[in-house]
Amino acid sequence: MPLLGAIADDFTGATDLASMLVRQGMRTVQLIGVPQPGTHLPDADAIIVALKSRTAPVGEAVRDSLTALAWLRQAGCRQFFFKYCSTFDSTEAGNIGPVADALVDALDAGFALACPAFPANGRSVYQGHLFVGQVLLNESGMESHPLTPMKDANLVRVLSRQTDATVGLVPYASVSRGAEAIRSAMTQLKEQGRRYAIVDAVSNEDLFAIGEAAAHHALITGGSGVAIGLPENFRKAGLLQSEADPGLLPEIGGHAAVLAGSCSRATLFQIGKARQHLPTLELDALATPDAQILAAQALDWAATQLGNTPVLIAASAPPDKVAALQDRLGRDEAGALVEHSLALIAEGLVARGVRRMVVAGGETSGAIVQRLGVQLLRIGTEIDPGVPWTLAEGSGPQLKLALKSGNFGAPDFFTNAFALDAAK
Ligand code: ADP
């Protein structure tokens, strides 16, 4: 019987959370999209439903999240987690606030903490302000994200704009005093009628303490970081057994490819490094704004390149080029065109024998797994914090996939990923 049921607002975010839970000893499976009533219950300690609700219309995001919650409750999960990005990716309309409101109501929880901090990946929250490395969120590059530009680093303010409920803060002064102090700060806020508390955290130690303080919360909301302390709660309660390697996956042969649709600084840098080692194709959607033609050109190119070395196909571009395509097509249309092109390319690559694939970009990963008919990911070993190899199952052949949120991963991520897989 699963213990933890999570709802993630995008695919890579779900994988990031899954990876954290595997590292902390939970066998974890990620389901792609809202589970259907007949979906069979996988054998796992944690089940994460990966939605594409971050940028969906708010009504759809709420509806899908509630359906996922109902399924997870029926599956027997005891505690629930709403996972969003560690950079709090959202628009003025949501969707973090409205989805959290709906989940709090459905669970009759009354209160939920909100903590996107993930210090291992450079995301920390101090006095309610989110930092990426040493700079505030709104100076980190996130202010020009193609879909969810983050122009305010004060999360109490950001979340307040997305909900009618009131938002409080558990400041670092309380967090640094440990689980008991955090628990009592949260109780106070709840008694004052606050529905949410942004909780400061600048280290893993803080996150463990927050996890311990939330042991009896029906719902926890945040990034994957704050999930770090939850498995221990289940272990202490005698509900979670220790596994030798909860992330062991079988070996899979076949060609390998990297597909990149993220325009984040980290991904652009990773592409720059990888192109020195891998055959690389840059898609030019401005010159060819047609997904079918772009995909056909890329697949023709790939046919001549597939072999022992992974191929790299990237739509990713710096802000000025992104802006040029968006000016021409509109923001959503530009994103959709690129996502559709990469999804068609992924499908074509699998038909040509690619069985191991790294994908960069949250929305991009969502589009690709949907196109490939992937229904379930069993979570394996981590390549870098938040990004594991996974075993994908669905309507097509079994695949190894690594789905990377744009900002994640070391500079050599693309080459490291395949080296790690080969070493296993
Ligand atoms: P991240 O994880 O960095 O947020 P995503 O894949 O979620 O990456 O989002 C990046 C968005 O940018 C996608 O919708 C993608 O289609 C779009 N995109 C990628 N390349 C370009 C480009 N050259 N011009 C405009 N939009 C692009």
Q: What does the mean pLDDT of the chain come to?
A: 94
What pLDDT, on the 0 to 100 scale, is given for residue 40? Answer: 81
Token pair of 302, please? 């790939």
Instruction: Looking at the structure, tell me whether residues 264 and 295 fall in a common domain.
Output: yes
User: Are the CB atoms for 312 and 258 separated by under 8 Å?
Assistant: yes
Which residue lies with its CA nearest to atom 16 of ligand 1?
335
Task: Give domain status of residue 245, yes or no.
Answer: no
For 81, the 3-state DSSP assignment is strand
Instruction: Looking at the structure, tell me whether residues 347 and 231 fall in a common domain.
Output: no
Q: Which of 268, 363, 371 for a ligand 1 pocket mutation test, highest count of atoms within 8 Å of Cβ? A: 363
Atom number of ligand 1 nearest to Cα 407: 3
Atom number of ligand 1 nearest to Cα 316: 20
Contacts of 165 (CB under 8 A, 6+ apart): 101, 194, 195, 196
User: Judging by beta carbons within 10 Å of its beta carbon (0-12, 13-18, 19+), is residue 383 exposed, middle or buried?
Assistant: buried
Q: For residues 292 and 295, what is the distance between their CA atoms, to the nearest angstrom?
A: 5
Task: Give domain status of residue 143, yes or no.
Answer: yes
Q: pLDDT, tens digit, for every residue of 362-400?
A: 889 989 998 999 999 999 989 998 899 999 988 889 999
Residue written as token pair 């954290």: 20
Instruction: Looking at the structure, tell me whether residues 174 and 111 fall in a common domain.
Output: yes
User: Judging by beta carbons within 10 Å of its beta carbon (0-12, 13-18, 19+), is residue 294 exposed, middle or buried?
Assistant: buried
Task: Give domain status of residue 242, yes or no.
Answer: no
The region, left, alpha or beta by phi > 0 then psi within -120 to 50, assigned to residue 33 is: left
Instruction: Looking at the structure, tell me whether residues 26 and 172 fall in a common domain.
Output: yes
Cα-Cα-Cα-Cα torsion 370, 147, 225, 26, nearest 10 degrees, comes to -10
The neighbour count for residue 89, using CB atoms within 10 Å, is 24
Which residue lies with its CA nearest to atom 13 of ligand 1?
335
Peptide linkage before 121 cis (omega within 30 of 0): no
CA of 182 to the centre of ligand 1 (A): 38
CA of 335 to the centre of ligand 1 (A): 6
Task: Give domain status of residue 244, yes or no.
Answer: no
For ligand 1, residues with CB inside 6 Å are 146-147, 261-264, 285, 315-317, 321-322, 325-326, 334-335, 338-339, 361-364, 405-406
Q: What angle do CA 364, 368, 371 make, to 5 degrees?
A: 140
**Helix or strand (DSSP H, E) at 230:** helix 230-236
The neighbour count for residue 204, using CB atoms within 10 Å, is 15
- What's the CATH number where 409 sits? 3.40.980.20
**Helix or strand (DSSP H, E) at 260:** strand 255-260
Whole-number Cα distances in Å, 43 to 30, 61, 246, 376: 11, 27, 12, 12
Quote the number of domains for the chain.
Answer: 2
Residue written as token pair 């395509």: 325
Strand runs labelled E in 127-249:
129-132, 135-136, 167-170, 196-199, 219-222
Instruction: Looking at the structure, tell me whether residues 165 and 263 fall in a common domain.
Output: no
Q: For residues 190 and 182, what is the distance between their CA atoms, to the nearest angstrom?
A: 12
Task: Give domain status of residue 70, yes or no.
Answer: yes
Q: Of 236, 271, 294, which closes a domain? A: 236
Which residue lies with its CA nearest to atom 14 of ligand 1?
335
Q: Which residues is 50 bridged to in the sheet? A: 8, 32
Q: For residues 127 and 141, what is the distance between their CA atoms, to the nearest angstrom?
A: 21
> In degrees rounded to 5, what are phi and psi of residue 22?
-65, -45
Instruction: Looking at the structure, tell me whether residues 210 and 296 fall in a common domain.
Output: no
CA of 352 to the centre of ligand 1 (A): 25
Task: Give domain status of residue 241, yes or no.
Answer: no
Q: Which of 364, 387, 403, 407 for a ligand 1 pocket mutation test, highest count of atoms within 8 Å of Cβ? A: 364
Instruction: Looking at the structure, tell me whether residues 263 and 231 fall in a common domain.
Output: no
User: Are the CB atoms for 123 and 117 separated by under 8 Å?
Assistant: yes
CA of 74 to the centre of ligand 1 (A): 35
**Residues of the domain holding 204:** 4-236
Q: Which of 53, 85, 90, 263 for a ligand 1 pocket mutation test, highest count of atoms within 8 Å of Cβ? A: 263
Single-letter amino acid code for the residue at 87: T
Task: Give domain status of residue 363, yes or no.
Answer: yes
- What's the CATH number where 227 sits? 3.40.50.10840
Instruction: Looking at the structure, tell me whether residues 35 and 169 fall in a common domain.
Output: yes
pTM of the model: 0.83
Instruction: Looking at the structure, tell me whether residues 22 and 107 fall in a common domain.
Output: yes
Report the Cα 367 to chain-centroid distance in Å: 14
Token pair of 345, please? 């390319």
Instruction: Looking at the structure, tell me whether residues 220 and 259 fall in a common domain.
Output: no
Q: For residues 304 and 87, what is the distance between their CA atoms, to the nearest angstrom?
A: 39
Q: Which residues of the chain register pLDDT less than 50?
A: none
Q: Of 236, 265, 298, which closes a domain? A: 236
DSSP annotation of 290: -
Q: For residues 262 and 268, what is the distance between their CA atoms, to the nearest angstrom?
A: 8
Instruction: Looking at the structure, tell me whether residues 343 and 203 fall in a common domain.
Output: no
Q: For residues 137 and 130, what is the distance between their CA atoms, to the nearest angstrom?
A: 6
User: Judging by beta carbons within 10 Å of its beta carbon (0-12, 13-18, 19+), is residue 164 exposed, middle or buried?
Assistant: exposed
Q: Of 173, 203, 236, which closes a domain? A: 236
The neighbour count for residue 300, using CB atoms within 10 Å, is 10
Task: Give domain status of residue 248, yes or no.
Answer: no
Instruction: Looking at the structure, tell me whether residues 286 and 219 fall in a common domain.
Output: no
